[in-house]
Amino acid sequence: MITFSGLLSQALEIVVALAVAPLLTGWVNICRAWLQNRRAPSIWQPYRMLHKLFNKESVIAHGASPVFRGAPYVIWGAMTLACAIVPTLSTDLPLSSAADAIALVGLFALARVAVSLAAMDIGTAFGTLGARREMLVGFLAEPALLMVLFSASLITQSTLLTHIVATLSHRELALYPSLAFAGIAFTMVSLAENARLPVDNPTTHLELTMIHEALILEYSGRHLALMEWAASLKLFAYSCIGIALFVPWGMAEAGNPLALLVAIPALAVKLLAGGAILALIETSNAKMRIFRVPEFLATAFLLAVIGMLVHFLLGA
């Protein structure tokens, strides 16, 4: 049954995701600059970039089809819906009952297919190269992500993320070996899925190494703004998935809307810590060769599978 508090929590989650996602990207950039002993950009820089791009004219190639024009809207919509499914502030989410963890992975796959088709639609060499690399990363990362989610679902006997959070947050604070393996695997998958080091460098335009940037080279104006906003939303969604699975404490429960007043600062602290850890991982690692990426993601898949086997053997 959908309640007013549920609708309020759902609307608040979507608004927070759309507003905070660029801020998280800006925080990660600041932490990277500090760790590299560089002058940090403003934390509001992603908002300024989005404002500038939305006010620019979109230049589209003559051979572009509706696939190229519609892909940014599909990708942005898929990432917004993914953020609405993942519990960030409350477990009282009306959309959670309609889409579980498997549907969440499907939304990520939909966005990947859309951006790959759009990159190949123009027919440029860089776009096709980036699309092939993106599909390779997705082909290896999605099974590993599913295994991570299944490891958590085996503990809670449900694939609904809200149920996983509600169950894990009420368990005693202890180290679960299965979740420990799943956490390492999830970190590796997150780096690959969000085009972060050591898999990809989000700030490079070197044609021999770039993956994400090769997919959006032909976009400009509002289309590029939507693509950049969607990338921030994806990073925010993955950060919130990690929080839901491994640090679920502090979220509001169903029937307790006042707990949102505590959940908002708790989420802010978790995102600040997560962004700093991400910047530290990126600064500590160099860009790996593209031919090493399958080995990297295969290791993540094996760690996730080991986590499931540990649960079956130890029950923890």
Q: Give the rounded distance of the alpha carbon of 197 from its chain centre.
A: 15
Tokens of 157: 């006997």
Residues 6+ apart with CB under 8 A from 95: 10, 81, 84, 85
- Written as six digits, the tokens of 268 are 């802010």
Enumerate long-range contacts of 301-304, CB under 8 Å, 24 or more apart: 301/140, 301/143, 301/144, 301/147, 301/185, 303/181, 303/182, 303/184, 303/185, 303/188, 304/144, 304/147, 304/148, 304/150, 304/151, 304/181, 304/182, 304/185, 304/186
Residues of the chain falling short of pLDDT 70: 1, 173-174, 207-208, 254-255, 315-316
Instruction: Give bridge partners of residue 90 from the DSSP assignment.
Output: 252
CB 5 within 8 A of CB 257: yes
Question: pTM, whole model, 2 decimals?
Answer: 0.94
Half-sphere exposure of 234 (CA within 13 A, CB side): 26
| Residue ranges of domains in the chain | 4-45+65-314
Q: Are 43 and 27 in contact (CB under 8 A)?
A: yes
Closest CA to 63 of 137, 122, 6, 112: 122
Interatomic CA distance for residues 156 and 237, integer angstroms: 21
Let me know the angle formed at the C-alpha of 161 by 157 and 167, rounded to the nearest 5 degrees. Answer: 55
Q: What is the pLDDT of residue 176?
A: 79
Nearest to 70 by CA among 128, 103, 118: 118
pLDDT attached to residue 255: 65
Q: Whose CA is closest to 86, among 197, 192, 235, 202?
A: 235
Q: Note the pLDDT of residue 297.
A: 95
pLDDT for position 104:
93
Sign of dihedral through CA atoms 145, 190, 70, 80?
A: positive
Give residues with Cβ within 8 angstroms of 294, minimum separation 6: 136, 140
